[in-house]
Amino acid sequence: MRWLSVVAVSAIVAVGGPSVGTSVSSAAPPPTVTGENGVVYPTDPQGRALLLRGWEFADESCGPEAFAETPEKFRQMADLGYNAIRVPFNWECAEPTEGNYDEAYLTAYTTVFRAAEAAELVVTPVLNDHFPGWVLERAGDRPATSSAELGSATLGSTDVGASVLGKHGDLEFLAAWGLVYDDAEVRGRVLDLWELLAGRFHDEPSLFGYDLFNEPWFDPLATGSSLLDPFAGEADRLTSLYQDIADRIRTVDATHWLLVEPFWAGVGSLALPTRLGEIRDSAQKVAYAPHIYSLAMEAGGDYDPAGGFVADYWDAVVGYAQRYRLPLLIWEWGPQNPKTPNADRYVREVMAGIDAHAAGSMSFAWCTGLSGWCNLGEDGVPGAAMAQTVGAYPQRIAGEPISLATDPAAGATLSFRPRGEAPTVMVVPKAAYPNGYDVDLDGGAYTVTPNGTFDVLDITADPTADRVDVTVGRR
């Protein structure tokens, strides 16, 4: 199996498998490798830099009927060469009443791992900000507050707030976030839930890591945040919450990755540097996983290339990952409407930044319609601007990456300093190269293994090569 062949014999990391003929080291490699490009990558069991490319698949159903479509959807993703998925885990479904878990939903979620293993994808469960009714009821017991008293921090009572901020401007939702930070019982329930999830999932072969909270937010009343510095709560409340969750997970799982996101909107939509502090982890497996969304496109409009949003985003986002030497994973991105005139330009700019700065990306969302955040055509594959996400890319790099570009028109180029004996692995989805492709390689040799809908290139460096350059180009 392309990704899971080593799992049965190695419990070090549940991602990545060696190609035929290579051996598995008994010593765990360092959890990360830093490329000459400055990007920090997670490693596979053989110490190769690991790149993740995938999509988010959400199911809002509760109970035993949840995730029924995962086997078909995951196979569709894998057939296009993707290797990772992000699947929300809904708190409201898991704990409908305080302290009582829905066993049918928990069991249904395990089908995600079965389907991912069969499709050779790795999974990142994310705790979704779908608060259970008992949390919202407790939040509603707080004194009523008008939007005028909150000022511009939220517009939840206005039409503008409903359309632009959505639930993030809802007063009850904000109050619920305040409880997550400051109410000992509610916060304790979050920690208990994560301990339960990690205890159940940590032996799953297809598990990559845990995304600790989807798009965390804050209650400006509880935090006392100044409208001149509304995101200051990242530094104390969010950092403290993440540290508590990380510590609790580590009581039952010492090996898988912990992914942390900044406040919703601050980084992802406004391109502001995060105030999040360091999350300490004895396993040294924390990754920074912000989202990226153009505000204009979130509101249903088109991308403005002259506005400089994407460039500003990369300027703002890389600092946290560099400061703490963490992998940067862009763990949710995509246009609301991939058919707007400038959506192609937006997707190209985001993808170029991912190549230059990140070790992985997760597109949003795997559903049909080509509107309303659904980025698949009726044929079930990424369409319009998001068709550009289908293309060749390296999944594992045996050495230190120098540069990477997965230009949808020109093909994929990779340069790296070779290290070790394991091959570098690239995937080439045939759907992206209807007329075939050519491989130009300096510093090594390669073999091609057909794998149904895509080819796998195993690239071996020459013994004396200091650098390997490979290009997969369209014909």
Is the pLDDT score of 166 beyond 90? no
19: pLDDT confidence band, cut at 50, 70 and 90? Answer: very low
Say how many domains are in the chain.
1
- CA–CA gap between residue 32 and residue 27 (Å, rounded): 14
Decide if 368 is inside a domain.
Answer: yes
The whole model's pTM is what?
0.90
Q: Where is pLDDT greater, at 224 or 111?
A: 111
Decide if 366 is inside a domain.
Answer: yes
Decide if 254 is inside a domain.
Answer: yes
- Average pLDDT, stretch 39-46? 97
Beta bridge partners of 438: 473
- Average pLDDT, stretch 430-455? 96
171: pLDDT confidence band, cut at 50, 70 and 90? Answer: confident
Beta bridge partners of 428: 455
**pLDDT score, position 353:** 98
Contact at 8 Å (CB) between 299 and 258?
no
Nearby residues of 468 by Cβ (< 8 Å), 6 or more positions away: 399, 414, 415, 416, 417, 418, 424, 441, 442, 443, 444, 459, 461
173: pLDDT confidence band, cut at 50, 70 and 90? Answer: confident
Decide if 426 is inside a domain.
Answer: no
Determine what percent of the chain is predicted with pLDDT higher than 90.
Answer: 79
Decide if 300 is inside a domain.
Answer: yes
The alpha carbons of the chain give a radius of gyration, in whole angstroms, of 22
Q: Residue 298's domain is classified under what CATH number?
A: 3.20.20.80
Q: Where is pLDDT greater, at 229 or 151?
A: 229
**pLDDT score, position 299:** 85
- Average pLDDT, stretch 425-429? 97
Decide if 452 is inside a domain.
Answer: no
Q: Where is pLDDT greater, at 430 or 15?
A: 430
**pLDDT score, position 12:** 28
pLDDT tens digits, one per residue of 343-358: 999 999 999 999 999 9
Is the pLDDT score of 160 beyond 80? no
Q: Would residue 224 be called left, alpha or beta, if left means φ above 0 and alpha means ψ between -120 and 50 degrees?
A: left
- CA–CA gap between residue 460 and residue 443 (Å, rounded): 9
Decide if 157 is inside a domain.
Answer: yes
Q: Out of 159-168, 210-219, 251-260, 427-436, which region has the weakest mean confidence (pLDDT)?
A: 159-168
Contact at 8 Å (CB) between 471 and 440?
yes
- Average pLDDT for the chain: 88
Determine what percent of the chain is predicted with pLDDT higher than 70.
Answer: 87
> Residue 363 is part of which domain span?
51-390
**pLDDT score, position 312:** 96
pLDDT tens digits, one per residue of 301-349: 999 999 999 999 999 999 999 999 999 999 999 999 999 999 999 999 9
Q: Would residue 21 be called left, alpha or beta, if left means φ above 0 and alpha means ψ between -120 and 50 degrees?
A: left
Distances 200 to 63, 111, 129, 165, 334 between C-alpha atoms, Å:
17, 13, 20, 34, 31
Is the pLDDT score of 137 beyond 50? yes
**pLDDT score, position 426:** 98
Decide if 12 is inside a domain.
Answer: no
